[in-house]
Amino acid sequence: MPQAAKGNTVTVHYTGTLDDGSVFDSSREREPLEFVIGEGTLIPGFENGVIGMEVGETRKIDIPAADAYGERKRDLLTPIERGEVPENVKPEVGMFVELELKDGNNARARIAEIDAENIVLDFNHPLAGHDLSFEVELLSLA
């Protein structure tokens, strides 16, 4: 039976969990995920974990943070003055905000801290610093 290799288009169902067992994402309630192995559209640990699978096989893939979304970076924490937030917005720790950058692009950040003068925005990916586990089922291979 053929095995998944770089350059193959594969279709998978997956469920992603954190160390505590909580599910952060799953394709089980929607369409399966299709991608080409080696194109770099997904995190490296996921793509590499599918290599060698056969259609119908289910595999658990454990991915350390470095091969997923990387470690959390302190330099991606940015304080802004509270006065920069529109008055109609009530900031709360954990809330996500979308900001327009000076270059015209948008960026998403999580509010990490709030004090009397500043709000600290965290531009790290929400899964940065987390080891991830995926249960992957290979549905098709081309």
Could you give the CA distance from residue 18 to residue 9 in angstroms, rounded to a whole number? 27
Task: Indicate the Cα dihedral angle 29, 41, 12, 49, nearest 10°.
Answer: -120
Residue 105 backbone phi and psi in degrees, to 5: -80, 160
Q: Is this structure's pTM higher than 0.75?
A: yes
Q: Which residues of 85-95 are buried (b: 16+ CB within 10 A; e: fewer)?
A: eeeeeeeeeee
Q: Is the CATH number 3.10.50.40 carried by domain 9-70+127-141?
A: yes
74-122: CATH topology is Thrombin, subunit H (2.40.10)
Could you give the CA distance from residue 121 to residue 111 in angstroms, rounded to a whole number? 5
In the chain, what are the domain boundaries?
Answer: 9-70+127-141, 74-122
- Which residue is it, tokens 């793509």? 47
Q: Are 67 and 43 in contact (CB under 8 A)?
A: yes
- For 120, the 3-state DSSP assignment is strand
Task: Give, for all 142 residues of the chain, the pLDDT tens digit.
Answer: 899 999 999 999 999 999 999 999 999 999 999 999 999 999 999 999 999 999 999 999 999 999 899 999 999 999 999 888 877 888 999 999 888 878 888 889 999 999 989 999 999 999 999 999 999 999 999 9
